[in-house]
Copies of this chain bind each other. A is one copy, B any other.
Amino acid sequence: MQLKKILPLAALAVALPALGMAQEAEAVADAAPDVLEAVAALNTEMVFIMNSLLFLIGGFLVFFMAAGFCMLETGLVRSKNATMQATKNVALFSLAGIAYFIVGFNLMYPGDWVIEGWLGGISPTVLEPVGVELADVDDVEYASVGSDFIFQLMFCAAVASIVSGAVAERIKLWPFLAFVIILTGIIYPIQASWSWGEGFLDEMGFSDFAGSSIVHAAGGWAALAGVLVLGARYGKYGKDGKINVMPGSNLPLATLGMFILWLGWFGFNGGSQLAMGTISDVADVSRIFANTNTAASGGAVAALILSTILYKKPDLTMVLNGALAGLVSITAEPLTPSLGAATLIGAVGGVIVVFTVPLLDKFKIDDVVGAIPVHLFAGLWGTMAVPLTNSDASFGTQFVGMAIIGAFMFVASLVVWLILKAVMGIRISDEDQVTGLDKTEMGMEAYPEFGNS
């Protein structure tokens, strides 16, 4: 589009040298306003394209996290529940995608608030028209609506993915999916609008760059509420405080899941810069990539060392969780830390995981994949760590924001879980848990030919 506007100028430019000095000056004078406009437009265009591209790249990277969650969770459940876990992950992502465009997106980024700063607008997402021109673009200094939508949708779906791991192996499919629809269509978007939709938390100065609290702890709170309402898996906790270990069936798959999540996190944090069209923005995105990576390293290494010290032998599942906790920890502020600080912030996340995974078991809170330690506990830590490297944030505000988000996410989720429990029942019977959900609920085995316990 822009090209057509400028090409005549180029033609003119080529023609000019043939003319004398005077005419030339005149021609230039004629052309000048157009040149000025063209340069400005070209710059605007470049920024818009690069920002949109950042969202598109970030979007597909964060999309792939859905596969990462799915593989991590499917690898960490017992094989008799693996088909169910895969089914839940595909279904939750699909439903999130629909719920978010029907209500979520405009609830989260309201043009007009229903209650200013607290409750956004209710209307389905409308993309910019086909072949939109500069003049008709929604926000020419930002990015295309479609790119923004696709990026934000992936965050919303991630919240639901966090929940599915914690409640695995004993929740019924349909109530779970009902929860997902409400979570991704309503609960999360409302909460997220407070910070990212320029609502009251944003006003207050709460700082959560890519969502340690807004996405990860939020998902963790929803998961915690679910786990409490649902109860532990049948047989998980013995009478005299005995913990019956239920090892994950496919650790290589879980490891793949972790790597995919790590990959996706470059989009998750990098894309949250929301801009890539200037030198400072692209340099910031680069900083974020580097800090994100090193925080994951810190988390993994801390979990590796600590699990070896505590249990004599290294624990792969802790290392996987540790890397993820490192990523969650840096998510609230992946930009301002130095590489060293980012590594330490991530390492603390890894430490948190190693200590809190067994702690949850002490309280008989049965979180199959470690979603609560990784996303909730490390998410809270990440949120509180922001002021350590970002002088614009304060511990007080961070704490208040974190608490408000937590209270809302936990209570809202709890209410929904309790209603679902009352209305449909959410728990698979003990006997069916023993047989395995794949046989009783799905009639389809994940690995029909291997083993048969």
Closest to A263 in B: B64
Cβ-defined contact, B70 with A256, below 8 A: yes
**Chain B residue with the shortest CB-CB distance to A66:** B259
Min Cβ gap A42→B in Å is 5
Identical copies of this chain, number:
3
Mask, A1-34, CB within 8 Å of B = 1, is 1110011011011101100010011111101111
Using Cβ atoms and an 8 Å threshold, which residues of chain B touch A149?
286, 290
Please indicate the chain B residues that have their CB under 8 angstroms from the CB of A283 in the complex.
Answer: 52, 128, 131-132, 137, 144-147
Q: For residue A152, give the distance in angstroms from its CB to the closest CB of chain B.
A: 11
Provide the residues of chain B in CB contact with A111, threshold 8 Å: none
- Taking the closest CB of chain B, its distance from the CB of A185, in whole angstroms, is 13
Which of the listed residues A16, A137, A449 has the most CB atoms from chain B within 10 Å of its own CB?
A449
Closest to A50 in B: B49
| Any B CB within 8 A of the CB of A301 | yes
Given contacts A94-B297, A252-B446, 16 further A-B contacts (CB under 8 A): A1-B278, A2-B43, A7-B40, A25-B26, A39-B42, A49-B279, A66-B259, A87-B316, A124-B340, A133-B279, A134-B279, A137-B283, A145-B286, A147-B283, A256-B256, A313-B442
Q: How far, in angstroms, from A60 to B253 measured CA to CA in the complex?
A: 20
Q: How far is the CA of A94 from the CA of B31 in the complex (A)?
A: 53
Contacts of A263 in B (CB 8 A): 60, 63-64, 67
How far does the alpha carbon of A153 sit from the alpha carbon of B284 in the complex, in Å? 18
Distance A21 CA – B25 CA, assembled complex (angstroms): 11
Contact B450 A98 (CB under 8 A): no
Nearest chain B residue, comparing its CB with the CB of A64: B263
**Distance, CA A146 to CA B285, complexed state (A):** 8
Find residues 56-102 in chain A having any chain B CB closer than 8 Å to their own CB. 56-57, 59-61, 63-64, 66-67, 70-71, 74-75, 78-79, 82-83, 86-87, 89-91, 93-95, 97-98, 101
With A and B bound together, what is the CA distance between A90 and B328 in angstroms? 17
Residues of chain B within 8 A of A311, CB atoms compared: 443
Say if the beta carbon of A213 comes within 8 Å of chain B.
Answer: no
Check A61 against B64 for contact (C-beta < 8 Å): no
Q: For residue A143, give the distance in angstroms from its CB to the closest CB of chain B.
A: 8
